[in-house]
């Protein structure tokens, strides 16, 4: 980490408005240009959801300097929270999202208390193991969660605004824009958070934890809050994922997905605000393409991991931003 102390946080300072404008222009027009390239709208929804998960995860890895390797747990808890709400409580999409966020966010907040003093690989190992607890519960509690087969038998409900109803259940494009609105609100909040004094303090902890401590910053409390917030946003992504597929399965909690979330963030560029979204888009499209081409897609996904680590460790946006920070 010592090599990175020279230039703090170039990502946010570097032409932020231009990057945001490009991203939003592309996202808003997806239903118009994606079919021309042979894609389908559900894939775009997947990119948004995974992108939100990776960006939420990156609040920790990229902007607090803490490495969680179990974020699939909160993603999956969000998905199950939403699915179970729709199935057993009420056919209300906003309520489902709220319950998903609460379930994943609270689990993260409680667990964060236990691990907030740990660092480095040990932090990663404990988060993996905790993630497997969530996986194990979803896998074994057959009567509630559907076990190995996953939770089925629910579907997203149209949104009633009083004066009109938005049919996100039947209309794919309407649902894409619904996802985009949720994504926009979440990402906007994340941007505000990172620009706030709290966010700047997280960066200070990332750059030099000891110095931050000497300045009187309660480091553990900040990491705990950052972890909880990150988990809550990841749970929102999971809830949206359940809505997207009308399905929640235990593989959504498995550490394999945790690893994929990490590689998305790294592949896109973990020091750039939009990096994880770019990484998620790349990863989702590659995975979609490769798994349609060969049954040995796992080798190729593994190869992506290895190649990114060995040859593109700074990620796509990290390379585009030049050599300023290393």
Question: Binding residues for another protein, per CB under 8 A?
Answer: 1, 61, 67, 69, 114-115, 117-122, 124-126, 128-129, 132-133, 136, 140, 255, 259, 262-263, 266, 296, 298-299, 301-306, 308-310, 313
Integer angstrom CA distances of residue 286 from 39, 256, 276: 12, 17, 15
Integer angstrom CA distances of residue 80 from 72, 170, 239, 261, 306: 12, 22, 7, 18, 32
By C-beta, is 235 or 266 nearer to another protein? Answer: 266
Residue 63, φ and ψ in degrees, nearest 5:
-115, -5
Q: How near is the Cβ of 231 to another protein at its closest, in Å?
A: 17
By C-beta, is 122 or 148 nearer to another protein? Answer: 122
By C-beta, is 27 or 203 nearer to another protein? Answer: 203
Q: How near is the Cβ of 129 to another protein at its closest, in Å?
A: 5
By C-beta, is 189 or 298 nearer to another protein? Answer: 298
Q: How near is the Cβ of 297 to another protein at its closest, in Å?
A: 8
By C-beta, is 86 or 261 nearer to another protein? Answer: 261
Give CA 45 to chain center in angstroms.
13
Length of the chain: 326
Alpha-carbon dihedral sign for residues 217, 4, 17, 312: negative
Q: How near is the Cβ of 54 to another protein at its closest, in Å?
A: 13
Angstrom distance (rounded) from CA 275 to CA 268: 4
Token digits of residue 213: 């401590």
Q: How near is the Cβ of 229 to another protein at its closest, in Å?
A: 20
């Amino acid at each position: 980490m010592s090599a990175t102390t020279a230039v703090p946080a170039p990502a946010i300072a570097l032409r932020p408005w231009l990057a945001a404008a490009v991203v939003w222009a592309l996202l808003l027009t997806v239903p118009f240009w994606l079919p021309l390239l042979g894609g389908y709208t559900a894939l775009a929804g997947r990119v948004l959801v995974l992108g939100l998960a990776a960006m939420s995860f990156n609040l920790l890895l990229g902007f607090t300097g803490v490495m969680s390797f179990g974020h699939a747990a909160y993603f999956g808890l969000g998905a199950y929270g939403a699915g179970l709400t729709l199935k057993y409580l009420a056919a209300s999409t906003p309520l489902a999202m709220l319950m998903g966020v609460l379930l994943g966010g609270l689990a993260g907040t409680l667990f964060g208390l236990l691990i907030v003093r740990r660092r480095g690989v040990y932090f990663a190992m404990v988060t993996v193991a905790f993630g497997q607890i969530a996986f194990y519960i979803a896998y074994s509690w057959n009567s509630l969660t559907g076990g190995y087969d996953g939770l089925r038998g629910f579907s997203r409900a149209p949104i009633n605004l009083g004066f009109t109803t938005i049919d996100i259940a039947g209309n794919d494009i309407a649902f894409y824009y619904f996802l985009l609105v949720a994504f926009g609100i979440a990402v906007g909040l994340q941007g505000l958070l990172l620009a706030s004094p709290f966010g700047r303090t997280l960066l200070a902890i990332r750059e030099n934890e000891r110095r931050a401590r000497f300045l009187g910053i309660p480091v553990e409390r900040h990491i705990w809050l950052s972890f909880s917030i990150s988990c809550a946003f990841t749970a929102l992504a999971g809830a949206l994922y359940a809505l997207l597929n009308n399905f929640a399965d235990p593989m959504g909690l498995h550490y394999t997905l945790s690893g994929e979330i990490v590689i998305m963030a790294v592949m896109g560029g973990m020091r750039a605000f939009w990096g994880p979204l770019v990484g998620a888009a790349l990863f989702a499209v590659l995975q979609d393409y490769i798994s349609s081409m060969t049954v040995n897609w796992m080798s190729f996904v593994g190869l992506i991991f290895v190649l990114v680590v060995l040859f593109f460790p700074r990620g796509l946006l990290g390379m585009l931003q030049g050599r300023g920070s290393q």
